[in-house]
Amino acid sequence: MEEVDIVIVGAGIVGLAIASELSDDKKNIIVVERYDSFGNETSSRNSEVIHAGIYYAPGSLKAKLCVEGNELIYDICAKKNINCLRTGKLIVVEDSEGVAELNELYEIGCKNGVQGLKILDKGEIKKIEPNINAYAALYSPNSGILDTHNLMRYFEGSAKNKGAIFAYRCEVVNIEQDKNGFSVGIKDVDKNEIKFLTKLVINASGLYSDKIAEMVGIDIVKNGYKIHYCKGEYFSVSGGKGKFIKHLVYPRPTPISIGMHTVLDLQGELKLGPNAFYVNEINYDVDESHKHEFYNGIKNILPFINYSDLSPAMSGIRPKIQAEYETGKDFVIRDEEDKGLPGFINLVGIESPGLTSSIAIAYYVKDLIQKYI
């Protein structure tokens, strides 16, 4: 049986960042990915937004890693010539009743260490965004957008250059604890099963992370690791109307998302989304009948958009551990040593702000495994 030091399950943005951070000439790392390339699901089906850290409970991993990750993302993009843009962001309300919620978000953001936050009144909003209608807004200068694909490509290239092996079109089918670590069974594209003996398993498999956790005997319901699929759709806005705004524009957050917002890309094109609703299966079709929901949600704030401007664009699935009607839950990033599984590193429920946090998550995982390597 071939021996390696680390098996990373999943080549999304988080798995790639971890592979890049951990790989060097002294460690044998294999990254197992069921698709034929990196980032085929959640990592490539999102808003590509660099978040600042406003929404998350103070002291939570989401807050800590998002604020750290924000700076790290901008830094690596600058050093590696990866396109990004610090657009800034406005969380807007349409009437005076929403101001208290903006103040609450401001306080949370400040407790989390988010820099530069300001509450703007209607006149101040008009000076920077004359084409939107809002009573007040929370302004976040360090929010932005980036080229997620090229960031993932950089992480993959960095890991490969330092010796990591990527096993694409391969699927983990079983994991058994061994006296020296774990035996990991992988089925390749030809349906042949290969086994690896590894000291460490890092479960960064996103939508399938609960299934990987189950393979080693973890009760995912008891431990709150069950993944609930939360779908989000996007609609494109035609007519070059991205030129009408410069900032990301968000509504107040909902219990299950940070709201259906404007999605600017680096080419100046504009989308709206995502909405948020729970589903029982992974399906990336966009329901065109939801166009009414999108238009009604933005017509007052963005009066320059017409109903006829909207057309279905794409969708993504969030891997939530928060079931429908439950309150928000934090990232799970932990060594399962207390469950009798030392060296099994679980990353479960890595939804937004997982992209922004990806490098900070990689540093966090590196600290977790220091005692093993």
pTM beyond 0.85: the answer is: yes
C-beta atoms surrounding 150 within 10 Å: 15
Task: Give a three-class secondary structure readout of 236-283.
Answer: EECCCHHHHCCCEEECCCCCCCCCCEEEECCCCCEEEECCCEEECCCC
| Residues pairing with 186 in the sheet | 172, 194
Return the DSSP state at 308. Answer: G
Q: What CA–CA distance (Å, rounded) separates 35 from 41?
A: 9
C-beta atoms surrounding 253 within 10 Å: 16
pLDDT tens track for 200-218: 999 999 999 999 999 999 9
Edge-to-edge strand ranges of the sheet holding 144-146:
49-50, 144-146, 84-85
| Residues pairing with 364 in the sheet | none
Helix (H, G, I), strand (E, B) or coil at 133: coil
C-beta atoms surrounding 243 within 10 Å: 11
Q: What CA–CA distance (Å, rounded) separates 67 from 143?
A: 11
Closest CA to 253 of 245, 242, 261: 261
Burial of 135 (0-12, 13-18, 19+ CB in 10 A): middle
Closest CA to 297 of 252, 342, 334: 252
Which pLDDT tens digits describe the chain residue by residue (373 residues)? 789 999 999 999 999 999 999 998 778 999 999 999 999 999 999 999 999 999 999 999 999 999 999 999 999 999 999 999 999 999 999 999 999 999 999 999 999 999 999 999 999 999 999 999 999 999 999 999 999 999 999 999 999 999 999 999 999 999 999 988 999 999 998 999 999 999 999 999 999 999 999 999 999 999 999 999 999 999 999 999 999 999 999 998 988 898 899 999 999 999 999 999 999 999 999 999 999 999 999 999 999 999 999 999 999 999 999 999 998 899 999 999 999 999 999 999 999 999 999 999 999 999 999 999 8
Angle at Cα 71 formed by Cα 67 and Cα 76, nearest 5°? 140
Helix (H, G, I), strand (E, B) or coil at 203: strand
Q: What CA–CA distance (Å, rounded) separates 55 from 282?
A: 27
Torsion-angle region of 104 (φ positive above 0: left; ψ -120 to 50: alpha; else: beta):
alpha
What residues contact 304, with CB distance under 8 A and at least 6 apart?
A: 131, 241, 244
What residues contact 117, with CB distance under 8 A and at least 6 apart?
A: 52, 54, 106, 109, 110, 138, 139, 140
Residue-wise DSSP of 9-74: E--SHHHHHHHHHH--TT--EEEEESSSSS--SGGGSS--EE--S-SSPTTSHHHHHHHHHHHHHH
Return the DSSP state at 209. Answer: H
SS3 of the chain: helix, strand, coil, percent, to 5: 30, 30, 40
Angle at Cα 152 formed by Cα 146 and Cα 153, nearest 5°? 115
pLDDT tens track for 224-249: 999 999 999 999 999 999 999 999 99
